Amino acid sequence: MTTQAQATKTRSTRTKLSRELVLSTGVLLADRDGLDSLTIRSLATELGAKPMSLYRHVDSKEALLDGMVDQVIAEMEPASAELEWREAIWRRCESARAALVRHPWAIPLLESRSNPGPELLRHHEATLAALTRGGLPLPLIAHAYALLDSFVYGFAMQEAYLSADSGEDQAHAEEVAEGLEALLDPEEFPNLLRFAAEHAMQPGYSFGASFEVGVELILDGVERLSAAT
């Protein structure tokens, strides 16, 4: 390729850059290679652009992360004002779980951003509005929000780890069960072996089935506390 053709190609690539493209490509790289591998330079290489050209759209690595977190938040369904408050919170939690399983690198970033984006702010506002519609006093709203997010984030992190394990099929489960039986003394670990053999390694077992139970337990407890105040 001639120098002139290269310059034309470079100008063409630069004109196609946008903030949306930069952020979405950052998310793609974090999903594919992990957050630690994401730099302005690696992002520019992925986009076929010069690193300095990215600073027109994100003025720092922190601004890039802020925008990427906001893109993940945009994938989450906010607590709808049209739904009963518990249903709105439930759907919000389930949607957040799904987004975080897709993008587990975002979990430690969600509450650490010093410049929260518009999607994150709207998400917070909608969640607080739903909890307020439930008649909860402010201290209990704070407890409910903290408990729900701690549960959702932690569950999504575990689920992302499990889904990354390529051996979640029944054959693998049977191998694991046999390995436990050979490794563990049944007199010392009777409950662990029973749990594995009779529940966790059974056909149809799903770690994800515990998610709904957990959210409902939190909301039931919050309602009990609210009624007692």
**Once rounded to an integer, what is the mean pLDDT over residues 168-179?**
58
Q: Does the pLDDT of residue 7 top 80, yes or no?
A: no
Q: Chain-wide mean pLDDT for the chain? A: 87
Q: Do 111 and 204 sit in the same domain of this protein?
A: yes
User: Residue 9's pLDDT is what?
Assistant: 46
| Predicted confidence (pLDDT) per residue in 88-98, tens digit | 999 999 999 99
Q: Do 126 and 39 sit in the same domain of this protein?
A: no
The dihedral formed by the CA atoms of 181, 183, 186 and 191, expressed in degrees to the nearest 10: -80
Q: Do 28 and 116 sit in the same domain of this protein?
A: no
Task: List Cα–Cα distances, 120 to 41, 96, 98, 113, in angstroms.
Answer: 27, 12, 16, 10
Question: Position of tokens 């053999």?
Answer: 197
φ, ψ dihedrals at 55, nearest 5°:
-70, -10
User: Residue 180's pLDDT is what?
Assistant: 72
| Predicted confidence (pLDDT) per residue in 194-218, tens digit | 888 888 888 888 888 999 999 999 9
User: Residue 198's pLDDT is what?
Assistant: 87
**Using an 8 Å Cβ cutoff, are 114 and 94 in contact?**
no
| Predicted confidence (pLDDT) per residue in 109-149, tens digit | 987 888 888 999 999 999 999 999 999 999 999 999 999 99
Residue 137 lies in a domain: yes
| Helix%, strand%, coil% for the chain, nearest 5 | 75, 0, 25
CATH value at residue 30: 1.10.10.60
Of the listed ranges 71-80, 163-172, 190-199, the least confidently predicted one is 163-172
- The span from the first CA to the last CA of the chain, in angstroms, equals 75
User: Residue 184's pLDDT is what?
Assistant: 84
**Using an 8 Å Cβ cutoff, are 61 and 36 in contact?**
no
Q: What is the DSSP letter of 214?
A: H
> pLDDT above 70 covers what percent of the chain?
86
Q: Do 213 and 129 sit in the same domain of this protein?
A: yes
Taking the C-alpha atoms of residue 152 and residue 147, their distance in angstroms, rounded to an integer, is: 9
CATH value at residue 92: 1.10.357.10
Residue 64 lies in a domain: no
Question: Position of tokens 């690595």?
Answer: 61
Q: Do 204 and 105 sit in the same domain of this protein?
A: yes
Q: Do 148 and 219 sit in the same domain of this protein?
A: yes
Q: Does the pLDDT of residue 6 top 50, yes or no?
A: no
Q: Does the pLDDT of residue 168 top 80, yes or no?
A: no
Q: Does the pLDDT of residue 31 top 50, yes or no?
A: yes
Q: Of 164, 163, 145, which Cα lies nearest the Cα of 93?
A: 145
Q: Do 54 and 82 sit in the same domain of this protein?
A: no
User: Residue 52's pLDDT is what?
Assistant: 95
Residue 7 lies in a domain: yes
Token pair, residue 203, equals: 């056909």
* pTM of the entire predicted model: 0.82
φ, ψ dihedrals at 206, nearest 5°:
-140, 120
Q: Do 115 and 154 sit in the same domain of this protein?
A: yes
Q: Do 140 and 210 sit in the same domain of this protein?
A: yes
Q: Do 207 and 156 sit in the same domain of this protein?
A: yes
Measured over all CA atoms, what is the biggest interatomic distance in the chain, rounded to whole angstroms? Answer: 77
Give the total number of structural domains in the chain.
2
Between 32 and 112, the higher pLDDT residue: 32
User: Residue 172's pLDDT is what?
Assistant: 55
- 18 lies in which domain range? 3-59
Dihedral sign, Cα of residue 43, residue 46, residue 51, residue 55: negative
**Using an 8 Å Cβ cutoff, are 119 and 177 in contact?**
no
Task: List Cα–Cα distances, 53 to 11, 19, 28, 71, 143, in angstroms.
Answer: 11, 11, 19, 21, 44
Residue 194 lies in a domain: yes
User: Residue 203's pLDDT is what?
Assistant: 82
User: Residue 173's pLDDT is what?
Assistant: 57
